[in-house]
Structure 1
Amino acid sequence: MFNNWSELLPTIQKAFGALGKSNPKMVKAYMALGEATSENNVLDAKTRELISIAIAVTTRCDGCIAAHTDSAIKAGASREEVTAALATAISLNAGAAYIYSLRSLEAYDALNRPA
């Protein structure tokens, strides 16, 4: 097991609250970002959480994975839907690695020109 997810989530929630006490303005602004995503109701909660899981994977954030997986379950996401979102994240990461490989070669060529 990579993490004890059932222990990680409450630990993060507790730490989140502690940071909020020391910097309430920052946490209020952060929470407003999340609230703003649901304001126009174009995407339902389950879809937003599936997208969030995929983004959490691409940003490699265990806390985000735990929080958004929990929220996706509460929003009714099935394991099959989560795996479809993960497949999308995997395919995008491979594409991003390919594009950034091209950028690296471009940088090499640009920097390796004779003076």
Structure 2
Amino acid sequence: MNSFSKNKIEQSILNRKKLHQRFYDNSETYRHFLKLEKSAFSEGEISVKHKELMALSMSIITKCEPCIEWHTEQALLASSTDSEFFETIDVAIEMGGGPAGAYARFALNCLDYFKDKHNR
């Protein structure tokens, strides 16, 4: 992975961690969103792993790099395989066309980054 991609991912992580508490302390909507997120991503009829892969696909389609970064790591932590990541990207590309393919590259950089971080 090149240093530009690594720095971009690390900046996304830093920004999220740095600003989380500020948002939490000052935004009722953000606090409600976190409750919604916890409920939506809890284990149910659909596994957490599959929910994270769905979210990753949607993140690619909506071109949200912070979401791509977050859901890639969460899917990896939920034991998603490389094959599952690539199938998820396939769905995103089919649904989102060329722009999704371009943002899928960022998802692959995130996958490499987090696999290295978690030694997988």
TM-score by length of 2: 0.68
Between the two proteins, the alignment pairs up a number of residues equal to 93
Distance 1:70 1:44 in 2: 16
Q: Deviations over 1:52-77 (max 9, x none)?
A: 10000011111101111110111001
Distance 1:72 1:8 in 2: 17
Is 1:3 matched with 2:5? yes
Equivalent residue for 2:106? none
Question: Pairwise CA RMSD of aligned residues?
Answer: 1.8
Counterpart secondary structure, 2:80:
coil
TM-score by length of 1: 0.71
Structure index of larger Rg:
1
1:35, CA displacement in angstroms? 2.1
Higher RCO (CA < 8 A, seq sep 6+): 2
Distance 2:18 2:12 in 1: 10
Is 1:88 matched with 2:91? yes
1:21, CA displacement in angstroms? 1.8
**5+ unaligned residues in a row in structure 1: which ranges?**
95-115
Structure 1 runs of 4+ off > 6 angstroms?
A: none
Is 1:67 matched with 2:73? no
Equivalent residue for 1:50? 53
Distance 2:42 2:19 in 1: 27
1:18, CA displacement in angstroms? 1.9
